[in-house]
Amino acid sequence: MIDVALTGARGRMGSLIIDEIRSSQDLKLVAAIDIVGVGEHVLGDVSISDAREVRRVLGESQPDVLIDFTVPSAALENIRAAADNGVALVVGTTGFSDEQFSIIKDTINNAGIAAVISPNFSLGVNIFWKLVEMAARSLSDYDVEIVELHHRRKKDAPSGTAMKTVEILRRSLGIENILYGREGMCERGREIGVHAVRAGDIVGDHIVLFAGPGERIEIKHQAHSRSAFATGALRAARWVVKAPPGIHSMEEVLASS
């Protein structure tokens, strides 16, 4: 049995992860943590604990892994608390600054714990990234654009998934110029265009457009439900408790499971 702690337990992802744990045979929720709903019963004998006491909660519950879907500032503190308690990590929070991610890397490496950090835990998105990389290598002289669409409440833009797609294209195509949206007189150059849409209740769409003489290719992933992300996060949780120390990708999880 793998003991799981969850931060952001009252969020949309947190609720789905709890539902997945409820139906699993090998996972047990031992701590649920959030800034809202403190004291509310969630699963078994577990009630929501105050996020301000995350260190104490992890110390008392002794989970094997902490799953974090929160916001960057909170996630940073949660990661530090997990590191201090020797707890493995699955982090799906996005929007970290370069400085925050540098602190996260140092914290995890210094503590000697294992962590899976990914902007997207769905199987489909990880295949999407592979297809994008394959296409980029064959279409190096085509224009390339990224369009991502999410619900109106999403805070970070572009999405973490879009930014990882940017890095894949940058590496594959050798393009350093990234253009976020366009306005006015904008003749296209050698660039990767990135466009973010926030509207309604869109779960998450990501499109990469390759356009050349007389044709275009679109590679698209659509998330119809956040359950795909929850399933992937728990797959990562099962994997990370046996992984060597350091930061790992969802690609590693899928390759070995």
Q: Which residues form the catalytic set?
A: 150, 154
Tokens of 62: 């002794």
- DSSP 3-state percent helix, strand, coil across the chain (nearest 5): 40, 30, 35
Cα separations (Å) of 2 from 36, 62, 64, 114?
A: 26, 11, 6, 15
DSSP line for 116-152: EE-S---HHHHHHHHHHHHHHHH-TTSEEEEEEEE-T
Tokens of 60: 């008392």
Q: What are phi and psi of 242, to 5 degrees?
A: -110, 5
